[in-house]
Structure 1
Amino acid sequence: MAGTQIVKHGIFPKPSVKIPTAVRQASCSRGWLRILVQYTFGAITVASFIMIVMISMRSDTKEHRKNEVSSCSLQNCRIICNDTVPSLYEDVLSIVSESEVLCTRLALTFVNPYFEHETMPAQWLSNLRSSIYRLNIIRGNLRFIAPQAFMSLFAGNIEILVFEGITISNWAADMLVGLSSLQRLDIKLCNIMNVQRNSLRAVDETLKVIMFTYNGNWNPVNISGSTEMSALETVDFSFNIFNSILSNTSFTGLRNCKILYLNSCNITALGPGAFDSLDSIEDELNKEQIAILKKAFEAFDHEKKGCIGTVMVGTILGMLGHQVTDETLKEIIDEVDEDGSGELEFEEFVTLASRFMVEEDAEAMQQELKEAFRLYDKEGNGYITTGVLREILRELDDKISAEELDMMIEEIDSDGSGTVDFDEFMEVMTGGDD
């Protein structure tokens, strides 16, 4: 075995090489280098995502603002703004300023305006110029008006204020403070929920006309019964639902009022002394209204003696669009028929009817009657029979006698055809010619 060297495995130790910990951990799955790289790329990814989101949001905002184009337009010194939001108030101020070059007096209308928190804020549109004489707010989300909402320069020159189709959740006594020139207040087609006492105190020296119409069921006592208004001339409460709510406190603030309209208010009963405070009410009506009443009066004055029985008053009021209960009717008649004769002369009849008469738009009335006529003219012949008309008149007054009906039908159907066309129907229902 000469020349052969046998080396036993493991006899000679391997040389010891000391590897630094940092280098050794660099190859591990949890090494600092890999962690650093992961954190770096993660931060870059997150930053990129945030940047993309911000760019997208900015783009959306720009696009949104681009779509927020002013919807205001000027028509014959009337500015109409549709769907206005607070961010577009500057556009409103701008068009008002431009319009003042052409118009010394402007009417400003907001249709479907948006108010934050459903509230008109204090000093609303305080930068608006003072040339606005009429302000209309139609529909929209308005429910509350801050106490100092009208404490601004432009509000001090408003003469006419109109709210239409909104909800008034709370009408405080100081809601109209600042409207120092207000002469006319229109509230129509609104939901009036809570009206506090002395609600018109802020405008009691300037307000001349109050128009509260088509507002459903509400109590007028804190509008017309708590503050006496020295300049007030006309109040129109037509087409509301008062039922039996009117009492001796309902109109105590109307001592200076000359005309009060209560047309079609579904009045079922009147409290004692309901009209006692109406010291200045005038019985005068215009010529057209007098003519209508004269025609109706003569139609029921069958004996042509210049007076009608009080039992006929309910029928006539029904023909004029007023359905009243027997109790209410008796109270009104007792007040007018001072001598208790059971008959009313024409002047007394006018005094009674003037409390309910209100001038209506002729076209609107004609349209309503056309719709009613179509309901009765089921076959579309253009006429109804006198038998149908008899039923209509009987529905208006179930106490009317057959003889009285015969006399009325005879006068209406003068040619004896047994039919009534629309013109004749309208004449019957209005008491006058078409």
Structure 2
Amino acid sequence: MAVSLKGTLIPTKGTFNPYKGHLNPYKGHLNPYKGHLNPYKGHLNPYKGHLNPNKGHLNPYKGHLNPYKGHLNPYKGHLNPYKGHLNPYKGHLNPYKGHLNPYKGHLNPNKGHLNPYKGHLNPYKGHLNPYKGHLNPYKGHLDPYKGHLNPYKGHLNPYKGHLNPYKGHLDPYKGHLNPYKGHLNPYKGHLNPYKGHLNPYKGHLNPYKGHLNPYKGHLDPYKGHLDPYKGHLNPYKGHLNPYKGHLNPYKGHLDPYKGHLDPYKGHLDPYKGHLDPYKGHLDPYKGHLDPYKGHLDPYKGHLDPYKGHLDPYKGHLDPYKGHLNPYKGHLNPNKGQLDPYKGHLNPYKGHRNPYKGHRVGNGILYLTRKVPFQAVSFPLPPPKKAAVVRMKASTNIVKSSQ
């Protein structure tokens, strides 16, 4: 459990130091947090007073390989297509709540099939547009056949001599725009990968039947955005599902975030555009025992001496805002130099570390008092192994930078 160590001295003499003899993987790296505003400043702690839903549950990731290890980040360098868009789900009921999962126990009909598009050349690549600069003779007209071959050419008319069953009926499409107009048919000339497969939905009830459409009347948040996945390999292809066969540790637990405001709403991402200083470094904690395991919490039952105090910095401008980093692009003058402190006693030894016990959420440092909740990230997917390393190591960065 993460605890706040403010105001108390913990004797460390004789305690096993898990860092002893290890190189400092952060030495020589710039502090990525320097000069950034704390996005949590002034926000209430949404975990305060909530029970830990993970307490007493087994770790479903324990002993599993990391399926992301060694894969490139397919989002790197792409713009966020959701930025600035309203959340179309806000305020809507969950249409799946209380329904059985119609896919449960069914095989994946796509499993083991080749990608029918893989290895096909783009027939339009490198060709000039023969229509460029010409007036469009169809402008203003709805041409439903434009660009399509006539699939009936040379075939007999199977309807010849039959009565028209639609005669006298209104056209339900009349007056609607054609959403496919101007799009090429991406399936043309490809084999049907589903041919010969059983329909996994056959005989199942429709879980949407009788429910209102929660999207009705909402704008399409993806309209006009490029596909950020286009041209990227699938990082999951060929990997086993690490969740397969595991029980859901959250099943039957209440949602501790329900009814809480999103403390990140409206804040900019202070890490946007920064390199990951942990990339390629080994985890210095790997294989070490937790030296605090089994120890009592010396702060349990103590009041927070800062509770109720005003923030003296609240409302002050950041004096560094808008200034260039004078160190940017300069080499590290200490690189390759001997450590002048090597062999000297540490004058801070035995003093309390005012930063110790501060937690990190999603790689962002923030200050907090002790709370009975182990999770350190806001409602997001479970942290990957790399994120865990970042959370453990970020406190060390703050220590070394002071």
TM-score by length of 1: 0.15
Bigger strand fraction: 1
Q: Which TM-score applies when normalising by structure 2?
A: 0.16
Structure with the higher fraction of residues in helix conformation: 1
